[in-house]
Chain A
Amino acid sequence: DIVMTQSPDSLAVSLGERATINCKASQSVLHNSNNKNYLAWYQQRPGQPPKLLIYWASTRESGVPDRFSGSGSGTDFTLTISSLQAEDVAVYYCQQYYSIPYTFGQGTKLEIK
């Protein structure tokens, strides 16, 4: 199984500042056949289902604000929120869909400082 490890577990950032969340896979999720990283990022606000933010490691889902961006390849990935807004308070998860079982990181709780 591919183990996904996020860091940090929690993060407090001031409004308007940058937030960075890291995700490390225990093995590469880059598929050689199409050169795509099978990595997604989700946002889960309290009491809500997860919402897809980023797929293929760096492609923003339709309707997601451009302050959210994803980067990385192979085993190391980053979700960046360029200017934190109040509505970004949530838990963020990375997920690999390269191989079954599809696995999620443990989550990173983002709060306002």
Chain B
Amino acid sequence: EVQLLESGGGLVQPGGSLRLSCAASGFTFGTYALSWVRQAPGKGLEWVSSVSDSGGRTYYVDSVKGRFAISRDNSKNTLFLQMNSLRAEDTALYYCAKVDGTGTTSRAFDIWGQGTMVTVSS
């Protein structure tokens, strides 16, 4: 069964840092691009970042550029999101998602994890 399992969320003060992880199973991890999508409480979905299958290409929404860094370890089937200089507006449920085809990040998201909650508050 194809699965994604996020971890690493929690309560952090403004300006603090967190590192999210997403452990994957059930598919050939290194052949698919992956993304992070977040959802603020009671709000809609917002794409945050994507990384290519090799990890060589990364993309970000403007609001997190320079603060967040996406990466992956294909030997450990794990995706990461390093979040620095966190702000209250980063409070959200963070999902990792797999694209539905190989070779590009420009595909629909066919598999989603259950999400990990990040709360930025003093």
- Interface residues, chain A, CB within 8 Å of chain B? 38, 40, 42, 44, 49-52, 55-56, 61, 93, 95, 97-107
Contact = CB atoms under 8 A, between A and B. Distances in A.
B1 interface: no
Interface in B13-29: none
Interface residues of B, number: 22
B46 A104 contact: yes
Contacts of A50: 37, 45, 95, 109, 112
A95 B45 contact: yes
Interface of B: 35, 37, 44-47, 50, 59, 61-62, 95, 100, 105-110, 112-115
Contacts of A44: 45
B81 to A, nearest CB: 16
10 contacts: A38-B106, A42-B45, A42-B109, A49-B114, A49-B115, A52-B108, A95-B108, A97-B106, A97-B108, A104-B44
Nearest to B63: A101
A106 B62 contact: no
Contacts of B105: 97, 100
B100 A52 contact: yes
A40 B106 contact: no
Contacts of B37: 50
Contacts of B44: 93, 104-107
